[in-house]
Amino acid sequence: MRNLSKFAATAFIMLALTGAAFMKKTASAAVASAKAAPLAKQDPSAKSADANVNVYWWYSAFDGSYNDYETLSYEIWEMEIYYDCTVNTTPGGGTLIEKGFWPNNNPNYPPMYFLYAHF
């Protein structure tokens, strides 16, 4: 393999891995199959698992920049991966890293959740 081909292959692999890092989680098989099923077979009284889940607008506590529009549990998981430490809503001994706003995208309203990193 020539040097230019090695460089091109390495660049392609890095581009693919970088793009995969920004993809969202896929839906679980149960939710996906329930949405794909015909309407006649579904129970009208049954609600989907994600019908009552609140989604928040997340802003950085350091510079106020917008980060995400996700659920609390997903954002905690994402920040634990990002900071490589325990992240939760308990302020004791933690450093404030994010503020979650709901129901609208307006940081002038009081935040609903604060996320703290425990280094």
The model's pLDDT over 54-75, given as tens digits with 9 standing for 90+, comes to: 889 899 999 999 999 999 999 9
* pLDDT classification of 7: cutoffs 50, 70, 90: confident
Decide if 46 contacts 91 (C-beta within 8 A). Answer: no
Q: What is the value of pTM for the model shown?
A: 0.54
Give CA–CA dist 52/54, Å, rounded: 6
Kindly report the CA angle at 103 between 91 and 19, in degrees rounded to 5?
A: 80
- Residues 100 and 67: their CA atoms lie apart, in Å, by 10
pLDDT digits (tens, 9 = 90+) for 8-62: 778 777 766 666 555 555 444 444 545 544 444 444 444 455 566 788 989 999 9
